[in-house]
Structure 1
Amino acid sequence: MEAVERVSEIVSNTVPLVSPIAQVAYVFSEYSHHTGNAMSTKINAQARAHEAMGGRTYVVVSDRRTHDYAEGTLVSYSSARSTKREWLTDTERAIDVVCGRALGRRPCVARFHREALAAVPADAEALVLYNYAGAITRRLTRSFDGRIVLHLGNEVFRTWRPREIRRVIERTHATVAVSDYLADTVAQRLGSRPDNLHVLHNGVDTEHFRPANRPAGEPCTILFVGNVVPHKGAHHLVAAAHEIARRTKDFRVHIVGSAGLRPSCGLSAYEVELRRAAAPLGDLVRFTPFVDRHSLPAVYAGADLFCMPVEWEEPAGQVVTEAMASGLPVVAARSGGIPEYLGPEGVYVDPHDTAALADALHALVVDPAERQRRGQALRARAESFTWERNVQTLMRLLAG
């Protein structure tokens, strides 16, 4: 309690407080530790930090889902759309692309978010909408008197033309991206950088994710956490494990996650193939399906080394900062915004180069002193990515 009071006192003296803020994620997102949805994790962490500063956060949620995070004031709404059509269909996406380019508006995504945006309380001074830029319409700007923030966690504008991007950013008080990489992709599409386009780096909970004392003499455990889908690259780690096993058996690989963001009823075709590829390695590789947020710190605490062999331009990588906070050395692809978070103490490889990935992992498997050195350096770096700093930055942008 004293720590919360100190944070509140410091911030009240240095950062203008905007409150209440309304946070709106994807229509059918759970606001719960039972989901792996990064948006819900961010909203929960920001709500906690905002409340510690003396602010109030409304979290606008669907009444079709379960919500159990304690932070924030829940505001529920009913959606006319069935949860069986949780995502926009390919047809709806195609309609939006055509309408966006021809008319400058995306009617399907706007209609999809209409009930959620209508539920935003009238006293909210700011509205933060995650990723779904097409929902920021002229109608919204006329009906909402506060400041609008578009929060970009992915490359949202792939199918957008520059004029359409510029128009929606102009409707916001601030558009924030989770990395310089992501902000730069927007600026490159436009040919210049809008004055209200900013970088808002994600935070990490360094209280829950902490270094653990690992028992001496146990095999080095290489950890992968994330969606088990092809572009996250777990198959590259399995391929590297085969190479490492030719040199030593004193290691283990632990792959944690499922294809979806919720506990899965079954394995995807990719997950089945991944297990088939790992089978010859026996107990050197094990799989754990989806793990909820409360259980994740213990997962990191049971590892010695983290691997993120992604194939795509990862805008930030929440699991990278969690591994850093847990004091783990990290071997990762040099892609997207990962280097901004990981910094010079990360080990970077091309995941498609199996030999190079195996070499990088093996070098750390057999060198506990180097693992410790890098892990300590990354923990120190993680401590600069706090959610308090994230919200302070957001407050300054909103006050500007």
Structure 2
Amino acid sequence: MDPSRQHEHASSATVPLVSPVAQLAYVFSEYSTATGNAMSTKINAQARAHESLGGRTYVVVSDRRRHDYDDGTLVRYASARSTRREWFTDLERRVDAVCGVTVGRRPLVARFHREALDAVPADAEALVVYNYAGAVTDRLVRRSGGKVVLHLGNDVFRSWRASEIRRVIARTHVTVAVSDHLVATIVDRIGHRPENLHVLRNGVDSETFRPVPRVPGAPVTILSVGNVMPHKGVHHLIAAAEVLARRTRDFRVHVVGSAGLRPADGLSAYELALRRAAAPLGELVRFTPFVDRRALPAVYGAADVFAMPVEWQEPAGQVVTEAMASGLPVVSARSGGIPEYLGPDGVYIDPRDTVRFADALHALVTCPTERVSRGQVLRTRAESMTWERNVAELMRLLAD
């Protein structure tokens, strides 16, 4: 174990340890390396960190899915819900939104989670529910023997009234969000900051994701990783690559990910449109629809620059911290919570300004020393973002 990680364990030893903790994965999601679900990755990292500190983590999962992460104690539950309707549907969301406005509660999302919540072991001292705030009902609080945590990684309250948001946060022992930006959106909606609303920033595994020496003289690889959907802005990267190709051909763009979370989901209309747009660039652009989680560090290791041209207010950006830990310079939109993680040494662009985006990429493609120096600074920053620190902070909040 490296000295910095030894220090992390030593500093966390004095933290009051809440154990066992139950983590509720998304209903019907995999707890597996074979999914692109960022929440499952986060639960796995937190379970590993919690148990390294001496705690025990239950991970509550559906028995219909594959689960191959080794960390945590799996608690499987069966569901009577039809296999044709395993996901929470758009119709159910609309009905719940109407119910939230009219009666102040969301019965369908609560029912959707009931079997999973009923499977939570009775000795769990805390229950962590991710994003699905409507599952945090008065019934859940009454039946839970421990403390309830609402963990927010996205802006889940867009269809909620202020009074409804205030009630659900009040039911929790603590509500945590992954960035100051996300907390601010909640505060803006309800007009004040509840005492139990806190920022809990994500960690990153800087032992798994780490710099890899690059082969001198090889084309510079510009990497994009994540869900390939319009709001993630890959089309802006393709447009910038077209401009960049007029100045130099000494680069390659590698787009990793797909619209779905599994390799069998197929290509969306947007993904097909991206391939058509990139076709004139030939070998300068390639697409890999899915990479197993275990192979992802090698993907970062084969890259030289990371691009994050998102159009939406990204709450945190797990892939940004993975790129940082891998020692890559990051060219990103100044969006949402990304600057809180990336800091002052990111290269910030407006992805819709194609020429300026291409300028930023060109500067890094043509200057190896700039790539290395920025990557080294971001690697150092990432080393302080451990999952042990994330879990230790959650333990402190739960102990209050």
Same fold (TM over 0.5): yes
Separation in 2, partners of 1:365, 1:128 = 43
> Structure 1 residue 10: deviation in Å?
4.4
> Structure 1 residue 83: deviation in Å?
3.2
Q: 1:28-177, aligned counterparts within 5 Å?
A: 28-177=28-177
Alpha carbons of structure 1 residues 6 and 366: separation in structure 2 relative to 1, 3 Å: closer
- The 8 Å contact of residues 258 and 264 in structure 1, kept in 2 or not, is answered as no
Deviations 1:252-288 (A, max 9, x none): 1111111111113421111111011001011011111
Separation in 1, partners of 2:89, 2:322 = 33
Q: 1:232-271, aligned counterparts within 5 Å?
A: 232-271=232-271
> Structure 1 residue 88: deviation in Å?
2.0
Q: What SS is found at the alignment partner of 2:207?
A: coil
Separation in 2, partners of 1:218, 1:2 = 31
Separation in 2, partners of 1:188, 1:118 = 34
- The 8 Å contact of residues 137 and 168 in structure 2, kept in 1 or not, is answered as yes
> Structure 1 residue 7: deviation in Å?
5.8
2:354 corresponding residue in structure 1: 354
- The 8 Å contact of residues 226 and 258 in structure 1, kept in 2 or not, is answered as yes
Separation in 1, partners of 2:6, 2:364 = 42
- The 8 Å contact of residues 8 and 54 in structure 1, kept in 2 or not, is answered as no
- The 8 Å contact of residues 12 and 388 in structure 2, kept in 1 or not, is answered as no
Count of paired positions? 399
2:274 corresponding residue in structure 1: 274
1:306 aligns with 2:306: yes
> Structure 1 residue 87: deviation in Å?
2.2
1:376 corresponding residue in structure 2: 376
Q: What letter corresponds to residue 30 of structure 1 in structure 2?
A: E
2:12 corresponding residue in structure 1: 11
Separation in 2, partners of 1:103, 1:118 = 24
Separation in 1, partners of 2:156, 2:386 = 25
Deviations 1:303-351 (A, max 9, x none): 0000000010000000000000000000000000000000000001111
TM, length-normalised to structure 1 = 0.98
Separation in 1, partners of 2:132, 2:138 = 15
Separation in 1, partners of 2:118, 2:294 = 32
Q: What letter corresponds to residue 11 of structure 1 in structure 2?
A: S
Separation in 2, partners of 1:344, 1:392 = 26
Separation in 1, partners of 2:393, 2:8 = 14
Separation in 2, partners of 1:83, 1:70 = 26
TM, length-normalised to structure 2 = 0.98
- The 8 Å contact of residues 224 and 255 in structure 1, kept in 2 or not, is answered as yes
CA RMSD of aligned residues (A): 1.4
> Structure 1 residue 86: deviation in Å?
2.6
Q: What letter corresponds to residue 223 of structure 1 in structure 2?
A: L
1:392 aligns with 2:395: no
Separation in 1, partners of 2:83, 2:205 = 31
Separation in 1, partners of 2:211, 2:84 = 41
> Structure 1 residue 102: deviation in Å?
1.5
Separation in 1, partners of 2:125, 2:75 = 15
1:27 corresponding residue in structure 2: 27
Q: What SS is found at the alignment partner of 2:264?
A: coil
Separation in 2, partners of 1:17, 1:384 = 21
- The 8 Å contact of residues 228 and 271 in structure 2, kept in 1 or not, is answered as yes
- The 8 Å contact of residues 12 and 389 in structure 2, kept in 1 or not, is answered as no
Q: Which runs of 5+ in 1 are unaligned?
A: none
1:297 corresponding residue in structure 2: 297
Deviations 1:355-390 (A, max 9, x none): 111011111100110000100000000011110000
Q: 1:224-235, aligned counterparts within 5 Å?
A: 224-235=224-235
- The 8 Å contact of residues 9 and 388 in structure 2, kept in 1 or not, is answered as no
Q: What letter corresponds to residue 87 of structure 2 in structure 1?
A: W
- The 8 Å contact of residues 8 and 389 in structure 2, kept in 1 or not, is answered as no
Decide which moves more: 86-95 or 360-369. 86-95
Q: What letter corresponds to residue 118 of structure 1 in structure 2?
A: D
Q: What SS is found at the alignment partner of 2:186?
A: helix
Deviations 1:190-246 (A, max 9, x none): 101000000000000000000000000001110000111111111110100000000
1:283 corresponding residue in structure 2: 283
Separation in 2, partners of 1:238, 1:86 = 35
Separation in 2, partners of 1:140, 1:249 = 58
User: Which 4+ stretches in 1 moved above 4 angstroms?
Assistant: 1-10
Q: Which runs of 5+ in 2 are unaligned?
A: none
Q: What letter corresponds to residue 271 of structure 1 in structure 2?
A: E
Q: What SS is found at the alignment partner of 1:382?
A: helix
